[in-house]
Amino acid sequence: KKSYKFFRKITPKFLRNILKTFVYGKLPVFSQLGYRYIGPIDGHNIKELIKYFQYAKEQNKSIIVHIKTIKGKGYIHSENDKIGFYHGVNSFDINTGKELKKSNDKTSWSKVYARLLECVMDENRFTTVIHPATGVGSYLSKINTDYKDRSFDVGISEEHSITLAGGMALNNYHPYVAIYSTFLQRAYDQVHHDIARLDLPVTLLVDRAGLVGKDGETHQGTLDMAFFRLIP
């Protein structure tokens, strides 16, 4: 009877999962959560994308479609860009990929605070810098290189960047968080509860505040005054 019950479980799906377990070591996390998973799929193959989207649309349960693309696909200079130069650009030579000479010599707010931060980092060993994957845009590359033990790129984790700063401030450090205005919205609760309510010495360097031109609609920093007025 035990053998009979066991063999009744050997369905095509059961065998497929056994094979996956053998190959991957365990079932994919999505399958364990009850989702179907398809991928990875070439995101530059339009016909293939349509085929899988149509398949997913016709199913009666949730499906995760994993698509892989190359940022800047089709323009070799952008494909080879490792630091995000082509994320938002001024006019540039399409053949060489190099930025054309700027018409003015204005210094941005980002460059100003980055240079001042270098002085502060040099003078005070209890100063730290935190940024959520915006080191290049905020001109912090030199600080990241010169002060590796006190400079922290936390990736696209704005909430964590603020909470981390609060933790450091509780341990006698003075953190400077360089963060884009539009992304700071994600960390509103953390600014309120993990810094302001505790009255901690953390300095927020709000980058891209106001209207920011070439950085695009998603980077306009128009809500700073509105939501910071509510924070003690």
Segment 175-228, tens digit of pLDDT: 999 999 989 999 999 999 999 999 999 999 998 888 777 666 777 888 888 888
Check: CB of residue 172 under 8 Å from CB of residue 150.
no
Average pLDDT, the chain: 84
pTM of structure? 0.69
Which helix or strand (DSSP H or E) is residue 89 part of? none
Check: CB of residue 137 under 8 Å from CB of residue 84.
yes
Long-range contacts of 69-74 (CB under 8 A, 24+ apart): 69/43, 69/44, 70/44, 73/44
- CA-based angle 100:89:145, to the nearest 5? 95
Burial label for 132, CB within 10 Å (0-12, 13-18, 19+), is buried
Active centre residues (catalytic)? 71, 158, 186
pLDDT number for residue 46: 93
